Amino acid sequence: MLLHLTIPRGPIELAADLHLPDDAHNGTPLPAVVLSTPGSSVKEQIGANYASRLAARGIAALVFDPAHQGESQGEPRDLEDPYRRGEDISYAIDMLTTTPGIDPRRIGVLGICAGGGYAVHTARTDHRIKAVGTVVPVNIGAALRRFQPDGPVVALDALADARTEEARAGETARVNWLPDTLEDAATAGLTDIDTTQAITYYRTERGGHERSTNLRLLRSDSLLMGYDAFHLADRLMTQPLQVILAGRIGNTGSYDMGMQLWKLAPNPVDLMVIDGAGHYEMYDEPAYVDAAVERLTSFYANNL
């Protein structure tokens, strides 16, 4: 069962889908999970793959488009503000706590890729979240800093100059998350398997969606560069934690970051490494997603 909803978020609204078990109206309040999805994705993509499977196993699952993206409101478009992404999760919880049929004392979060970092960052201070699940979690700030050839300080100087030029021109610049085609990637010398699989997922009929623009407002990068998704997690994120990782270590950093999170967390409960899986194969390959969701279902059943 799928309900299309809107989440009030101050002066704007977020577009959301609530996936419910078929017997959702049997009178027993349901546990629920808010999904925090990868950067650049919309609710119909990776989030839907996980949310629908959780619902089929008896857990209500809410997936939404972040502010400024997809069907959600917010200007400017294509902004990736990590702090607002965390606030989005809390606004989603606000709505769930007042939704009939949902148990407000049994709400968890599931973060995937960059959404895993956002979920952890939010759970540190929003203790309405009772359990934290992550799949191939990425600390997006650390990832972006790592990919700066001359270091993050030089990159921030260049971003400052770019924003000044934007202000003078009255325009906002955007950059691609990924090359739009495999040919573009090859021309840029990006032939590694992770980039190839990311493009094959996001930029083809396999996983692409018309509202997933593949564009990021350039000014987002200054915010991301100074962001640490795991800051104070070792002191504040007391909730039970599950970490699910892809066994094939690639260039996304999710394996190392997941292990770092596992070691940092005060209450790590379950660690799963899926042999043979790559980062982007965890988005939609049925065997890998099903294995992850089975483990997540058990985790939430025991901790919500």
Q: In this predicted model, what pLDDT tens digit does every residue of 8-24 receive, in sequence order?
A: 999 999 999 999 999 87
Task: Report the predicted TM-score, pTM, of the whole model to 2 decimal places.
Answer: 0.97
DSSP H helical ranges for the chain: 46-56, 82-96, 114-123, 140-146, 152-169, 182-187, 193-202, 220-225, 233-236, 254-264, 281-284, 286-303
Q: Does the pLDDT of residue 25 top 80, yes or no?
A: no
Q: Which class is 2-143+229-303 in CATH?
A: alpha beta
Domain ranges in the chain?
Answer: 2-143+229-303
pLDDT for the residue 213: 97
pLDDT for the residue 254: 98
Nearest to 289, CA basis, from 73, 121, 105, 51: 51
Q: What is the mean pLDDT of residues 221-230?
A: 98
pLDDT for the residue 26: 74
Q: In this predicted model, what pLDDT tens digit does every residue of 127-142 receive, in sequence order?
A: 999 999 999 999 999 9
Q: What is the mean pLDDT of residues 263-283?
A: 98
Q: In this predicted model, what pLDDT tens digit does every residue of 40-69 receive, in sequence order?
A: 999 999 999 999 999 999 999 999 999 999
pLDDT bucket at 176, cuts 50 / 70 / 90? very high
User: Is residue 136 left, alpha or beta, with left meaning phi > 0 and alpha meaning psi from -120 to 50?
Assistant: left
- Under a CB-based contact definition with an 8 Å cutoff, are residues 128 and 48 in contact? no
Q: Does the pLDDT of residue 105 top 90, yes or no?
A: yes
pLDDT averaged over the chain? 97
Angle between helices 286-303 and 46-56 (to 10 degrees): 60
Q: What is the mean pLDDT of residues 197-202?
A: 97
